[in-house]
Amino acid sequence: MWWVTDAADADGPVADDADAEPASTVVVPVEPSPTLRATVSHVVEAAVDGEFSAIHFVEIASWRDGDPGSDDHSAEARRVLERVVAWAEADLDDADGDAGDGVTVASALIGAEGYLFGPDDYVEVLAGYAEEHGADAVVLDPEYTPVGNTTLLQPLEFALSNTSLDVRTAPVGRPTRPERLRSEATGVRFAAMFGLSLAFYFVLGDPLYWFDWVTGVATAAIVSITLSRVSFDADPAVPRTPLRLVRGAVYVPVLLYEIVVANLVVARVILDPRLPIDPTLNRVRVIVGSGLPLMTLANSITLTPGTLTVRARDSDLYVHSLLPWAREGLFDGSLERWTRFVYYGRSAARLPTPRERDDHAILQGPDATEELPIAAADGGATDADGIEAGDGDDGPPVEDDGPAAEDEGVTDA
């Protein structure tokens, strides 16, 4: 945890009305958003009006200290918090008279000591920080999306309502137009998409034939113009991107081997007259990040016969397995380790597996260790297999940040 503390003079004059209700301390979780600036202004205005005597801006880490890339994430969080503190100080300086002189502003990065997987983990860290610093209120940015996951805000508000904190959302205007799925266009992303598309075209065609060059360049240009702002959420960088491509090339034969072995096992079971199958739905919490790494792992699991990823929810994958062998392989986390190797290198591949972390559960059958999410969320009665009687509505979606990413259903192409 690190600190940036400053504000209007903390030793400046404060209200001397003995009958006035003492001002409280407020915690404001921050992430870059279209309404972050307006939220900061609202909180400062409330403090100037005497509602708060101290404002704590916090960013909740979606990574763990020591993980690959954690230094870059921390540096970016530091820049966001410094910008927020600068906004708050400017607003306090602009306040009429000496109204803002007694307001203290602080900022902190919290939660980087361990992995945070869902709203309950975020609330535990946030409530602990509030208790430690005597805060009794939380103000949320209406566009606050931890780990870039828009599905986490509503459950976060609900979980916070179960604490003693006074929770409210800043009454600031949301963007009149929804944020586009695509990201900013850059020459680097266009060139990367063009190169990948052209290379794939030549794999299917003949790179020595002039006509394939003409059609390949035209096709790659169309794909790059259309998809370069959708397929990348960050610019490819050196040496990170080339290393990932090399490690990905190493992973391809490993995945093919896993697919062949799984095919043989499933074929043997199908040909067995006893048909010794044991279909179950399982939950496994993975540590691969959100976005492309999570998609890679989910689809790798689906490509392997005997397992099918039916849903990705925060850092939880819900996987249907046909055989106990496939389920045990899922919990052993071989594909998870290979995915971490591809995106983060050998050091990340050595992190504990889901079985070693005890981050897995069986959701159906006599060996079920956990209820299906619908039963836990709706409080309905469940049968012996942990399935709620009644309809199959899975309730409102709640990850990746992975993180997190939005609620994704990953299916076999």
Model confidence over 247-305: pLDDT tens digits? Answer: 999 999 999 999 999 999 999 999 988 888 889 999 998 888 777 888 899 999 999 99
Q: What pLDDT, on the 0 to 100 scale, is given for residue 398?
A: 35
Q: Give the per-residue pLDDT at 376.
A: 42
Which one is predicted more confidently, 150 or 94? Answer: 94
Mean pLDDT, range 358-380, rounded to an integer: 71
Higher pLDDT, 43 or 377: 43
What per-residue confidence (pLDDT) applies to 147? Answer: 56
Better-scored residue on pLDDT, 187 or 58: 58
pLDDT above 60 (res 83): yes
Domains along the chain with CATH numbers: 3-169 (3.40.50.620), 187-234 (no CATH), 241-378 (no CATH)
Q: How far apart are CA 276 and CA 49, in angstroms?
A: 70
Paired strand residues for 321: 280, 307
Out of 8-17, 31-40, 116-125, 305-314, pick the least confident.
Answer: 8-17
Task: Say how far apart CA 341 and CA 167 lie, in whole Å.
Answer: 41
**Least reliable range by pLDDT among 129-133, 160-164, 182-186, 380-384:** 380-384
Cα–Cα distance, 394 to 411 (Å, whole number): 17
The whole-number average pLDDT for the span 186-201 is 87
Cβ-Cβ contacts under 8 Å for 160 (sequence gap 6 or more): 123, 126, 127, 138, 167
The predicted structure's pLDDT at residue 368: 87
Between the CA atoms of 118, 124, 125 and 129, what dihedral angle is there, to the nearest 10 degrees? 150
Interatomic CA distance for residues 147 and 400, integer angstroms: 6
285 vs 312: CA distance, rounded Å: 10
Which of 125-139, 273-287, 332-346, 379-393 comes out lowest in average pLDDT? 379-393
- Contact (Cβ atoms closer than 8 angstroms) between residue 385 and residue 368: yes
Which among 50, 73, 200 has a CA at the least distance from the CA of 147?
73
Report residue 313: phi and psi, to 5°: -135, 105
* E strands in 10-165: 24-29, 52-60, 104-110, 137-140
Q: Which tops the pLDDT comparison, 319 or 176?
A: 319
**Measured distance CA(52)–CA(43) in Å, rounded:** 8
Question: For the sheet containing 104-110, what is the strand order?
Answer: 3-7, 104-110, 52-60, 24-29, 137-140, 166-169
Measure the CA–CA gap between 287 and 355, rounded to whole angstroms: 12
The C-alpha atoms of residue 29 and residue 51 are separated, in whole angstroms, by 18
Whole-prediction pTM value? Answer: 0.54
Tokens of 197: 């598309």
| pLDDT above 70 (res 9) | no
Q: State residue 308's pLDDT score.
A: 94
**pLDDT at site 408:** 38
State the Cα–Cα distance between residues 8 and 27, nearest whole angstrom. Answer: 17
153 has a pLDDT exceeding 70: no
Q: What is the number of residues in the chain?
A: 413
Closest CA to 31 of 88, 66, 63, 76: 76
Torsion angle of C-alpha atoms 165, 169, 171, 176, degrees rounded to 10: 170
Q: What is the pLDDT of residue 301?
A: 95
How would residue 43 be classed by pLDDT, with cut points 50, 70 and 90?
A: very high
Give the pair of three-digit tokens for residue 90: 């400017």
Question: What pLDDT is recorded for position 369?
Answer: 86
**pLDDT reported for residue 410:** 38
Average pLDDT score over the chain: 77
6, exposed or middle or buried, with CB in 10 Å at 0-12, 13-18, 19+?
A: middle
Give the tokens for residue 10: 């903390």
pLDDT mean over 383-401: 38
Do β-strands 316-321 and 280-285 pair in parallel, antiparallel, or remain unpaired? antiparallel
245 vs 348: CA distance, rounded Å: 16
> Which SS3 state, helix, strand or coil, does residue 140 take?
strand
Residue pair 98/60 in contact (Cβ under 8 Å)? The answer is no
pLDDT at 5: 44
In this prediction, residue 14 has a pLDDT band, given cuts at 50, 70 and 90, of very low
Backbone angles phi, psi at 57, to 5 degrees: -90, 125
Q: What share of the chain is helix, strand, coil (3-state, %, to 5)?
A: 45, 15, 40
Q: Which parts of 94-232 fold into alpha helices (H)?
A: 119-132, 153-161, 187-204, 210-231
